[in-house]
């Protein structure tokens, strides 16, 4: 990761408007003229860290820098020099230790999204605050019966979550299966969106975008724009899909290929379910088997209406929203050619979630979620009360 300039640091810290306004008309033109992303490069996988002897201990550094996104050098935020951050592979019963280092100009913390671990102390505690220049040692103890599946990590400091994720702070966590599932490739596909100006900077978010839910003009897979990868006919690949977009719904299709869903988030199906498309809302994950057929297929994201607030334009209606275009947005291209391979072994039966529909109800409560304007700003309440850290 290359050093970041003072101006870029200010921009990523939420003060970029002043730096942009200081330039003349030429600078404004450079910053607003957006070159096309570089497409068609070979799909890359995030670096990996695997547990050994029941433990994974890593150092995770959050820092600004010049990071390659969509084939362009951009001023963004990353974990350990990359977007996405390293993929963490652990097993049920493991201890995951993460030393978080904050080299940002902002306060951060860390959330392990979906893991069944303690929310207290040095565990998955969203009330921890790591100030600029500080460090914090997290320790997560996974239960012996932890569900296998796809999870992820990102900051969760109140009031700064969406901006920091949008700028690049996210990475995958895989809890391995007790019994392996045969596949020719195990691909982690971290889907994110971002907006970049002509200078490779992330523009300051407008209040309207913040209220409606920010959607970036580029949709990326592992930081790449429509990368490509190859397979032979009859191969069964395993794709771990994560929607790290802060607001965008992803309605995904991969035509001409056989898709089988192993599970969503931490839920697993006893046997794989055939699907034609997937809907991933922000934070959703899918564990997908793809059995390949000769030809080229494009993983596409299509527009999904998130709903809108009275008197406002619906989200996703902007002219630059790639998923709005006819045919959707091309996320990645799978090229299948060559001699067919042998039929893979059957997928072993999985332990699914328990069926609670006939279980006794121990207690009932009513929770009312509401949103509206108050004192000149948007207010979100639960049973009439706003968030209060105290």
Nearest Cα residue to 16 out of 156, 120, 163, 188 = 163
pLDDT of residue 376: 67
Does position 4 have pLDDT exceeding 60, yes or no?
no
Q: How confident is the model at residue 57 (pLDDT cuts 50, 70, 90)?
A: very high
* Cα–Cα distance for residue pair 84/307, rounded to 1 Å: 29
What is the chain's length? 390
pLDDT of residue 310: 44
pLDDT of residue 348: 87
Q: Which run of H or E residues covers position 29?
A: helix 25-32
CA distances for 256 relative to 44, 117, 233, 334, 348, angstroms: 23, 39, 12, 11, 25
* Cα–Cα distance for residue pair 192/219, rounded to 1 Å: 6
* Cα–Cα distance for residue pair 105/78, rounded to 1 Å: 13
pLDDT of residue 266: 85
Q: What is the pLDDT of residues 113-124, one digit of tens each?
A: 999 999 999 999
The 329-336 sheet, strands edge to edge: 228-231, 329-336, 295-302, 250-254, 277-280
Q: Give the distance, in angstroms, between the CA of residue 290 and the centroid of all CA atoms in the same chain.
A: 20
The mean of the pLDDT values for the chain is: 88
Sign of the dihedral through C-alpha 325, 326, 328, 331: negative
Does position 50 have pLDDT exceeding 70, yes or no?
yes
Mean pLDDT throughout 377-384?
87
Q: How confident is the model at residue 355 (pLDDT cuts 50, 70, 90)?
A: confident
- Provide the percentage of residues in the chain whose pLDDT is more than 90: 72
Q: Give the distance, in angstroms, between the CA of residue 34 and the centroid of all CA atoms in the same chain.
A: 24
pLDDT of residue 40: 95
Does position 62 have pLDDT exceeding 80, yes or no?
yes
Does position 9 have pLDDT exceeding 60, yes or no?
no
As beta bridge partners, residue 250 has 280
Does position 164 have pLDDT exceeding 80, yes or no?
yes
* Cα–Cα distance for residue pair 236/293, rounded to 1 Å: 10
pLDDT of residue 308: 61
Q: Is 370 or 2 the better-scoring residue by pLDDT?
A: 370
Does position 350 have pLDDT exceeding 90, yes or no?
no
Does position 101 have pLDDT exceeding 60, yes or no?
yes
Q: Do the Cβ atoms of 173 and 90 come closer than 8 Å?
A: yes
* Cα–Cα distance for residue pair 315/323, rounded to 1 Å: 12
Does position 370 have pLDDT exceeding 50, yes or no?
yes
pLDDT of residue 313: 46
Question: Taking the model in full, what pTM does it have?
Answer: 0.88
pLDDT of residue 216: 95
Say which range, 102-106, 199-203, 205-209, 358-362, has the weakest mean pLDDT: 205-209
pLDDT of residue 35: 78
Does position 55 have pLDDT exceeding 60, yes or no?
yes
Domains of the chain, earliest start first: 6-175 (2.60.40.420), 185-336 (2.60.40.420)
Q: Is 175 or 30 the better-scoring residue by pLDDT?
A: 175
Does position 92 have pLDDT exceeding 80, yes or no?
yes
Q: What is the pLDDT of residues 10-35, one digit of tens each?
A: 444 443 333 333 344 444 444 456 77
Q: What is the pLDDT of residues 224-278, one digit of tens each?
A: 999 999 999 999 999 999 999 999 999 999 999 999 999 999 888 889 999 999 9
* Cα–Cα distance for residue pair 194/220, rounded to 1 Å: 8
- Give the CA-trace dihedral at 123, 127, 133, 138, to 10 degrees: 0
The 258-264 sheet, strands edge to edge: 218-221, 185-194, 236-243, 285-291, 258-264, 267-275
Q: What is the pLDDT of residues 266-306, one digit of tens each?
A: 888 889 999 999 999 999 999 999 999 999 999 999 999 88
Q: What is the pLDDT of residues 299-345, one digit of tens each?
A: 999 999 887 654 444 444 444 678 777 789 999 999 999 999 998 99
What token pair was written down for 27? Answer: 């600078």
pLDDT of residue 33: 63
pLDDT of residue 17: 36
């Amino acid at each position: 990761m290359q050093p970041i300039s003072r101006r870029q640091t200010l921009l990523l810290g939420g003060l970029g408007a002043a730096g942009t306004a200081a330039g003349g008309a030429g600078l404004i033109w450079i910053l607003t003229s957006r070159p096309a992303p570089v497409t068609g490069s070979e799909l890359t996988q995030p670096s990996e860290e695997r547990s050994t002897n029941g433990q994974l201990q890593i150092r995770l550094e959050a820092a600004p820098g010049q990071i390659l996104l969509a084939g362009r050098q951009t001023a963004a935020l990353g974990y350990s020099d990359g977007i996405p951050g390293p993929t963490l592979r652990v097993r049920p019963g493991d201890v995951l230790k993460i030393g978080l280092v904050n080299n940002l100009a902002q306060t951060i913390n860390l959330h392990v999204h979906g893991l069944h671990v303690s929310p207290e102390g040095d565990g998955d505690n969203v009330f921890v605050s790591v100030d600029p220049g500080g460090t914090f040692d997290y320790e997560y103890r996974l239960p012996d019966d932890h569900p296998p599946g796809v999870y992820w990590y990102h900051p969760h400091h109140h009031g700064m979550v969406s901006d920091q994720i949008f700028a690049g702070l996210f990475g995958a966590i895989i809890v391995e299966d007790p019994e392996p599932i045969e596949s020719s490739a195990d691909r982690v596909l971290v889907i994110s969106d971002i907006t970049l100006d002509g200078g490779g900077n992330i523009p300051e978010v407008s209040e309207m975008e913040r209220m409606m839910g920010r959607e970036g003009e580029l949709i990326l897979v592992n930081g790449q724009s429509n990368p490509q990868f190859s397979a032979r006919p009859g191969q069964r690949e395993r794709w771990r899909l994560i929607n790290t977009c802060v607001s965008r719904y992803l309605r995904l299709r991969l035509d001409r290929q056989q898709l089988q869903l192993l599970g969503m988030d931490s839920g697993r199906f006893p046997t794989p379910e055939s699907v034609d498309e997937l809907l991933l809302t922000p934070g959703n994950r899918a564990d997908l088997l793809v059995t390949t057929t000769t030809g080229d297929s494009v993983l596409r994201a299509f527009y999904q209406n998130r709903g809108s607030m009275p008197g406002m334009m619906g989200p996703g209606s902007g002219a630059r929203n790639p998923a709005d275009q006819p045919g959707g947005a091309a996320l990645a291209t799978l090229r299948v050619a060559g001699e067919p391979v042998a039929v893979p072994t059957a997928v072993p039966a999985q332990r699914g979630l328990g069926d609670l529909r006939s279980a006794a109800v121990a207690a009932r409560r009513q929770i009312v979620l509401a949103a509206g304007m108050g004192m000149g700003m948007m207010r979100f309440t639960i049973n009439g009360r706003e968030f209060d850290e105290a």
